[in-house]
Amino acid sequence: MNQLKKRFWQEVTAANSIMIAGHIRPDGDCVGSCMALYQYFSKVFPNKEIDVYFESIPEQFGFLESIQKSKTECSDGKKYDLFVVADSSDKERLGDAKVYFENSKKTICVDHHISNLNYADLNIVEANASSTAEVIYQLLEEEKIDCEIATALYLGIIHDSGVFKYESTSRKTMEIAGVLIEKGVDTAKVIDETFYQKTYIQNQILGRVLLESMMVLEGKGIVSCVTQRMMEFFGANSGDLDGIIEQLRLTKGVEVAILLVETGILTYKVSMRSVKKVDVSEIALKFGGGGHVRAAGCTMTGTFHDVINTLLGYCEIQMNA
């Protein structure tokens, strides 16, 4: 880490213009990690040109003060000296921001996905870390972290650790969180308002998906689906589905949970979670996706039953191994 940290700061110091971006459909870790870098760089290097881009800004993260300064358009294709990517395990997940990756003189990727493809000039990937925010924290100087930066980092950590409960949560995670709390983070607000709080619509879809779920693999698996018609009926967007897969995973007896979200004709965004045996990242990678051992995703084509049968086949092989 020390050698990587040194190289990271060499690149950042040498650049006059820096763009920061995460992945498509930004989640808490993506937003928190990018905003922490954006605020820290802006504070430490007031004379550099620093920008941050998100495909969209989910409403629950709007409370981060500086997020209004972020770009949500990247058609300018501007050439930056340095492009820092946070939380994206492959180039495709950059979405439209790929243009900055292609055009920038230097690229750095900071991430915690075991499936990371090491696609940047400098890759700082810690697969054991709870979150990308945890990796970023280790690149920063503690005394330069103010309450706003700490809030962004805390946001990233709680989202990717499921509020400190997934197995990637370590002593280090908790110690970092402790430092951030001392910086004045309003922890109850961040946890309740960005993680647990649900809108009425989100609750309705959750209810519908749970109602239509099916137990498979003799009670060790659970599957469900969100169709485009359901999304239209509820007037929902993909962000409204956060947390549904976790509720499926928590079903008693379940080892693996799979949620298919219909994104086009015979096309599904697949979310997978496991409890302690199945390596869902390995399965997602077979279909061009990725993620973590216990949480991964990919996009697949076929009918609902074809996709589910294919995935359950791989789950069964692992469960019987």
List the beta strands (DSSP E) in 91-249. 106-111, 122-125, 214-216, 221-226
Distance between CA atoms of 250 and 145, rounded to whole angstroms? Answer: 36
Task: State yes or no: residue 130 binds Mn ion (CB under 5 A).
Answer: no
Q: Which does 161 bind (CB under 5 to 8 A by kind): Mn ion, ligand 5GP, none?
A: none
Is residue 240 part of the contact set for ligand 5GP (CB under 6 A)? Answer: no
Q: Is 254 in the site for ligand 5GP (CB under 6 A)?
A: no
95 binds, among ligand 5GP, Mn ion, none (CB under 5 to 8 A by kind): none
Q: Which stretch binds ligand 5GP (CB under 6 A): 55-63, 94-102, 173-181, 288-296?
A: 288-296
Shortest spacing between CB 9 and ligand 5GP, in angstroms: 26
Which strands, in side-by-side order, build the sheet including 290-291? 214-216, 221-226, 256-264, 267-274, 295-301, 290-291
Nearer to ligand 5GP, 18 or 23 (CB): 23
Query: Residue 290 burial (CB < 10 Å; 0-12/13-18/19+)?
Result: buried
Can you tell me the distance from the alpha carbon of 185 to that of 152, in angstroms, rounded to the nearest whole number? 9
Quote the CA–CA distance of 135 and 46 in Å, as a whole number: 23
Burial class (CB in 10 A: 0-12, 13-18, 19+), 13: exposed
Amino acid at 280: V
- Nearer Cβ to ligand 5GP (145/295): 295
- Taking each helix axis from N to C end, the angle separating 147-160 and 28-44, rounded to the nearest 10 degrees, works out to 160
Place of tokens 């649900």: 198
Query: Can you tell me the distance from the alpha carbon of 223 to that of 213, in angstroms, rounded to the nearest whole number?
Result: 6
Return the percent helix, strand and coil in the chain, to nearest 5: 45, 20, 35
- Report the C-alpha gap between 117 and 110 in whole angstroms: 12
Of 47-55, 86-94, 122-130, 176-184, the window that binds ligand 5GP (rule: CB under 6 A) is: 86-94
For residue 41, which amino acid is it? F
d(CA 260, CA 31): 24
When CB distances to Mn ion are compared, the closest residue is 29
Tell me the window of 98-106, 124-132, 145-153, 273-281 that interacts with Mn ion (CB under 5 A). 124-132
Which of 55, 90, 126, 240 is close enough to bind ligand 5GP by CB under 6 A?
90
Mark the segment that binds Mn ion (CB under 5 A) among 68-76, 90-98, 155-163, 296-304: 155-163
> Does residue 51 touch ligand 5GP according to CB under 6 A?
no
Bridging pattern class, strands 221-226 and 106-111: unpaired
Shortest Cβ 159–Mn ion spacing (Å): 8
Residue 148 interacts with which of ligand 5GP, Mn ion, none, CB < 5 to 8 Å by class: none
Binders in 217-256 for Mn ion, by CB under 5 A: none
Of the listed pieces 89-97, 146-154, 172-180, 311-319, which binds ligand 5GP according to CB under 6 A? Answer: 89-97
Residue in 298, 307, 311, 312 binding ligand 5GP, rule: CB under 6 A: 298
In the complex, the smallest distance separating the C-beta of residue 261 from ligand 5GP, rounded to whole angstroms, is 9
Q: Which residues bind Mn ion (CB under 5 A)?
A: 29, 87, 132, 160
